[in-house]
Amino acid sequence: MARTKKDAVTAIKHNFSKPTVRDLEVIKYPRITEKSMSLMQDQNKVSIVVCEDANKTEIKLAFQRIFQVKVTDVKILNVKAKETTRGTRYKGTLSGFKKAVVSVAEGEAIDLFKD
Amino acid sequence: MAEKKTVSVKVLNMKGEEAGKVSLAASVFAIEPHTQAMFNAVQVEQSNARQATAKTKVRHEVSGGGKKPWRQKGTGRARAGTTRSPIWVGGGTVFGPDGNQSYKISQNKKEYALAKKSALSLKVKEGLVVIDKIAFENKKTKDCINFLAAVKAQTKVLMVVNEIDENTFASVRNLSWVKLVSSDNVSVLDVLNADFLVTDQSAIKQIEEELK
């Protein structure tokens, strides 16, 4: 039976337990950029900003518990802080963060714009 | 115990007004507390949370000591092959912690369940606050403070909800005296450590279901 992407969320019932406080700390918010949107559409990968001391295993488990979808792969990288200027007077830095690209199992999807 | 099969606990709403009652199974929430089981459960939880970070150096790990301090014969001193021998000052340690100690202990599941029921029964007598539904509209710490003040739970609080959502998480996050867990993650240590167990109807029913 072929599943379409749309009804996938309700179609598969996983037995992941409920999210913990640490899970919500680990996964901060989705990173919405042109690149992340195309990754999501073409390869079913979700880009998120994560807690800086989180590791891949933690991210995978937390993501599964929060969104109740199966994760097949996690890649992480640190985005370095950048220097910025506004006009000539203000000099500062844009803070860096840790980014994770999470591969969601085939046939499953999450809705980032639910609320 | 062949007394009544349920205990009834009053239910408040989030403003602290009374909003009915909920009846809970006496086999879970009104048993004779078993002190030994609870003690064992706390010991298990605390011990299992322990990391083996203590570490000493044995004679080969202390740096130096490669050269023989003095010749074997003829000096009148006791023979010595290294300055890091355990009987020397500055030498290695013999039976110290090696960093691989395991503090993992376990408890029988039935005994742990008994401990949990005991702890909950103690809380029913004093410190259990049941709300009709815990739901925060905004991500505001102030909302949480006002809510806990309204239900008169202002010292150490364990907040048990059915499922942690973002608003609850964010409202509680900055309060050091409030610990938030979902109803399938309640531990004996958390229950006993808190002065108040603040929970809502759906969460407490789930705890009941688990322990029945």
Each residue's pLDDT tens digit, A3-37 = 455 554 555 678 888 889 999 999 999 999 999 99
pLDDT, one tens digit per residue, over B138-166 is 999 999 999 999 999 889 999 999 989 88
Give the tokens for residue B122.
């103690």
Predicted local confidence at residue B70, as pLDDT: 94
Q: Domain coordinates of chain B in residue numbers? A: 6-50+107-211, 52-102
Predicted local confidence at residue A112, as pLDDT: 72
Q: Does B169 touch chain A (CB under 8 A)?
A: yes
As a whole number, mean pLDDT of residues B192-199 equals: 94
Predicted local confidence at residue A73, as pLDDT: 94
pLDDT: which is higher, A106 or A23: A23
A interface with B, Cβ–Cβ < 8 A, is 17-21, 24
Task: Decide if pLDDT at A115 tops 90.
Answer: no
pLDDT, one tens digit per residue, over B70-81 is 999 999 999 999
Task: Decide if pLDDT at B4 tops 70.
Answer: no
Sheet of B157-161: strand order equals B18-25, B6-12, B128-131, B196-200, B157-161, B178-182
For an interface test with A, the pick among B144, B164, B175, B185 (most A C-beta atoms closer than 10 Å) comes out as B164
Number of Cβ within 10 Å of residue B15's Cβ equals 11
Predicted local confidence at residue A17, as pLDDT: 87
pLDDT, one tens digit per residue, over B122-140 is 999 988 999 999 999 999 9
Task: Decide if pLDDT at B192 tops 80.
Answer: yes
Distance CA A35, CA A38 (A): 5
- Listed residue (B45, B39, B27) closest to B124, CA to CA: B27
Give the whole-number percent of chain A exceeding pLDDT 70: 87
For an interface test with B, the pick among A22, A24, A25, A65 (most B C-beta atoms closer than 10 Å) comes out as A24
Q: Is the dihedral of CA B209, B151, B124, B180 positive or negative?
A: positive
Task: Decide if pLDDT at A1 tops 50.
Answer: no
Residues from chain B contacting residue A21 (CB–CB below 8 Å):
164, 169, 180-181
* Domains of chain A by start residue, with CATH: 8-104 (3.30.70.330)
Predicted TM-score (pTM) of the model is 0.80
Predicted local confidence at residue A10, as pLDDT: 53
Is CATH 3.40.630.30 what the domain over B6-50+107-211 is classified as, yes or no?
no
